[in-house]
Every structure is written in structure tokens, then in C-alpha cells.
Structure 1
Amino acid sequence: MSIHMTIKGALFGLAALGLASAAEADQLADIKAAGKIVTATDMHYAPFDMLNNGTYEGMTKDLFDAVAKEIGVEPVYQDIPWTAELPGLEVKKFDIVIAPVTITPERLERYTFTLPIADATVSLVKAANNSELTKPEDIKGKTVGVQQGTAQFKQLEAYGQKLGDVTIKEYGTTDEAYADLAAGRLDAVAGSLPNLTYLVKNRAETFALFTPAQFGEPKYFAWVLRKDADSDGFAKAINDALLKMTADGRVKAIQEKWLGTYAELPREVPAN
């Protein structure tokens, strides 16, 4: 055998090994082997994610506890600032982002989304004693707070440009925005309808929804995985669990526990 043929054969073998390794890469198999799913969320986003005397709770946790059980592994929950979550996912610091992320066309190009877990349509809340603001267009000439880096921010920005003369103030967390609204430093806060409904339900003496509260196109929250072939089986396992939980009533029970109502959700990932 010539040296040329030996080198050629060795190179072919290495290439084949590389292709085999790529074909065998499977995030779900790795997760099952480890016995855990490492997650990231922002634990300051009631009612989905909250810290109650240092204990993590909320709608997201109830849903994901059940999903992880269906898959047969333990969830590991991490409190990560929202702005660091998607970048951290991309460099594989964790397996999945379970902070509710609004599905958008831009994000669909970059990430794999699970089935929706809740409505995410952007809405407005004001101080309970504010009779000047009623409908969404009344924010013209006003200052509105919103969490930075969110789809709700982008929708508020577009709506503000349409109305003209709307000052937008960005916050690291929704809790900070609510505090400034309660203190009179803001005229309103924009956020998803479930978050604001929960806020008003628990602090009706301080906050009130606009009428109507919603002003954007219908949107949905979901969880986010990396967009690669390795994640396909993992995404399917999560979606299968969510569909099973929808069919047996667990999703409805969890929604009603945290939101006070049930909204039927799409059984496919929306295209926008």
C-alpha cells in the first residue's frame, strides 16, 4: 500500500468519524443521560416567574415542573437577567430559556420555539386613581415604562411613533417599572396582558388596566431552544408533553391558578 493511499484512507476515516459524531449529536439524549434540564429565566416577571421569600414559584415553574417530569428528568432553575438569556443560550450556558419569550418573525429565524404557553399581546396599565387615561391612544404626550429588550418594547415603540409624542422609558425588570408608576414617575406601563392582569388582580388599589388594555396584534409566549438539529428531539419532547398536559386539563388548571382564566392556545408554533 502506498503512503498516498494510507494518508487518503486515514483522512477518509476521520471525515467519516466526524460525520458520525455530528449525526449522533442529540440534546435530548444528553439531557436524559445527565438526568437534568438546565434552564434560565428571569425570576422577576409575575405571574410567570417570582421569588417568594427566596423560593422560586409561578406559572412557568408549575408548567415546566410537569414537562420535566414527563421527560423523566429534574429541572435546574437559574435566575438570569433577561438581556443575558438568549445570548447565554446561544453559547450553551443552559439548555433552554423558560422565561416567557414572545414569538416574533425575527426570533423564529434565529431560535427554535416550543408551543405557546400563554397570550403575550401587549397592553397598558395605569395608576388606579388616574381618570385622565382610559384608552391606549391617551398615552400621546405621556411617559410610558416598559422592560428593555422585549417584544412589548418594540410594539410600544411602533405604536408611540404612530401616535407621536410618546416618551418611552426602559427598565431592567417590570417590577422597577411598576414601582415608578406607583410613585407617579410614569403615566403608564406596557407589558403582556397576563402580567398586567395579574398585577391589577393583586394590587387593585394601586393599578388599573386601560379600557381596552390591548393595543397590539395577538402575540404568544413560548420557551426557546437553540436552532440546530441537535435540539429537534428536545423540542418535540417538550411539545408532546405540553399537548398531553393540554388534553388532560393540567395546562388549564395551571393557567386558572395563576391567571384566573383559561385561554386556549395554538397547537402549532405560530409563524409570527
Structure 2
Amino acid sequence: MSILAGWKGRFATLALCAASVALSATAHAEDQLAKVKKAGELVVGTEMQFAPFDFLENGQQSGFNKDLFAEIGKELGVKVRFIDLPWPSVLPGLEAGKFDMVGGPITITKARMERYTYTLPVADATDALLKRTNDTSLKQSSDIAGKTVGAGKGSAQLDQLKAYVATLPKPPEIREYVDNNQAYADLAAGRIAAVANSVTNIAYVAKQRPETFTVVQPSFGAKVYFAYCLRKDADSKPLADAFNAALVKMHGDGRLATLQKKWFGVAMDAPTTLPTPNY
């Protein structure tokens, strides 16, 4: 082999290595935020049976999530597309990479923090009971002892309910519902005595139908918050950081409080740092 040929071979090898490094760097740079901006679209998995956050009105999406994500989309410079799924399918869908993040929203818990990356909180998620307005036997949360109570299947509210009823002298029967609207329908029909859900959700339901539903005061659950979540990996962190920066901006200019008042009736405490959950 000539010296010239040898040098050509070495240059070819070096060029190939440089190309490989460049491709590797490009792939590494393609985190979830970069992918979202490249596609011009943020894809969000949710359940549209969770008023006032997400629900269908005349067949069209409505609620707090739609309005808030529209503002987030403006800040990120992308469109937002929602995928509607039954709640038990939402978190597995996130893990399978079917969408960029979850817009349930979901309660911040210790167990979930180990598995997912949370955004900053957007609302109060403390657990409370919804009862029929004409039910005089249910004056406080402990009055559900020995009765039948409904809650969302796979929800943190169900976990809080199970922990609470274990403290009662006669634990109630718990029915798990995939669809919260079905739980409210069973409550209205007298098939169950109460529904456990976040105070934000049931206050909205009671406000819409005060002649049928009333919130049992005070709430029985620990103080917890609602937030959105992403996969817990390095690629998702830049998207979470960008989302949180947009949310902090909405705190500062009043847009978040305006949306809370519109959908919840009041502006709610939503920390600008991630809180440590109680359970």
C-alpha cells in the first residue's frame, strides 16, 4: 500500500467517525421539546369526562385544559392536539410514547413523582364528597360509614377515599367508575350515597346542578394539588421546563387566575414551586 493510499484510508475513517459523532449529537439534541417544535404540535393525552378540566359540550371539547393549553401553545409557538381516552388508558399511553404529556390533570403523589415528571400545580385536588342535596343523613364526611360511595377507577381520589374509609367504624362499600359522569348519574338516581372526587371537580358539578348535588363540608382528604405530567426521562425535561416557564409567566400576568375564576369560580392557590406531597 502506498503512503498516499494509507493517508486516504485514514482520512476516510476520520470522516466516517466525525459523521457518526455529528449524527449522535443531532439525535441527542432531538429531545421532546425539540421534537414538539419541529412538528409544530404538542400532543396531549386526556380524558374528556372530567369537568371542569376537560369535558364534551355539544360534541366539542370544553373546559379549563383547552383554554390553558391554548395559552401554553402560544408561549411555545406550537399548536395543541388532544387525544381523548378513558382515564385508565391515559398514563399507560404516555409511557408507550403515544403523546407528549398528560393533561388529565393528575394529583401530585409520592408514588407518581417516582414514575413521572410533574409540571407545576394548576389547581387544588383535595378530596371531598358530593351528595344528593336532599340527603339529610349525610351531614359530614364520616356519615358515609356503612353506605355506598363511588370514585374514579385508577384515580388518586380513590386512593385517598380508601385511606379515609379505613378509619371509619363501618367502612362503606366503594364502587369504582371509569366514567365520572356515570358516578354522578348513579348518585342522582340514589344508587350510591356519595361520590369522592377533588373539591374542584365536585364544586363545579354542584354549581351546575345545585338542586341535585351538594358538596359535603369540610373536605376529608389531605391538601394536594393537580398538575400535568410527562415521562420521567432526560428527553422530557426540556419540555417540562418550557411548560413551567410558560405557566409561571401566566401566574405573573394574571392569565392563570383568570382561567381559574372562569372554570372553578375562584382563583386558587397554585404554588410556583413543586410541592412535596403528603402521601
Structure 1 residues 46-79: Cα deviation after superposition (integer angstroms, max 9, x where no partner): 1110111111010111111100111000001111
Answering whether residue 191 of structure 2 is matched by residue 185 of structure 1, we say: yes
> RMSD between aligned alpha carbons?
2.0
TM-score by length of 2: 0.90
Answering whether residue 222 of structure 2 is matched by residue 217 of structure 1, we say: yes
Q: In 2, distance between residues paired with 1:203 and 1:253? A: 23
TM-score by length of 1: 0.93
Segment of structure 1 superposing worse, 67-76 or 23-32 = 23-32
**Do the aligned partners of residues 170 and 10 (structure 1) sit closer, same or farther apart at CA in structure 2, a change above 3 Å counting?**
farther
Shift of 1:10: 11
**Do the aligned partners of residues 167 and 10 (structure 1) sit closer, same or farther apart at CA in structure 2, a change above 3 Å counting?**
farther
Q: In 1, distance between residues paired with 2:41 and 2:28? A: 22
Shift of 1:165: 2.3
| Structure 1 residue matching 2:217: 3-state secondary structure | strand
Count of paired positions: 266
Answering whether residue 214 of structure 2 is matched by residue 208 of structure 1, we say: yes
**Do the aligned partners of residues 88 and 139 (structure 1) sit closer, same or farther apart at CA in structure 2, a change above 3 Å counting?**
same
Q: Give the one of 160, 173, 182 matched to 1:167.
A: 173
Shift of 1:247: 0.5
Counterpart position of 1:267 = 272
Counterpart position of 1:77 = 82
Answering whether residue 45 of structure 2 is matched by residue 40 of structure 1, we say: yes
Identical aligned pairs, as a percentage?
48
Shift of 1:19: 5.4
Q: In 2, distance between residues paired with 1:15 and 1:139? A: 65
| Structure 2 residue matching 1:229: 3-state secondary structure | coil
> Of the two, which has the highest radius of gyration?
2
Unaligned runs of at least 5 residues, structure 2? 1-5
Q: In 2, distance between residues paired with 1:144 and 1:12? A: 64
Answering whether residue 146 of structure 2 is matched by residue 131 of structure 1, we say: no
Q: In 1, distance between residues paired with 2:76 and 2:257? A: 20
Check conservation: 2:124, 2:269, Cα contact below 8 A: no
Unaligned runs of at least 5 residues, structure 1? none
**Do the aligned partners of residues 169 and 10 (structure 1) sit closer, same or farther apart at CA in structure 2, a change above 3 Å counting?**
farther
1:185 partner amino acid: R
Q: In 2, distance between residues paired with 1:271 and 1:13? A: 45
2:111 partner amino acid: E
Q: Give the one of 31, 35, 38 matched to 2:36.
A: 31
Segment of structure 1 superposing worse, 201-210 or 24-33 = 24-33
Structure 1 residues 197-231: Cα deviation after superposition (integer angstroms, max 9, x where no partner): 0011110000111122x111111111111111111
Answering whether residue 109 of structure 2 is matched by residue 96 of structure 1, we say: no
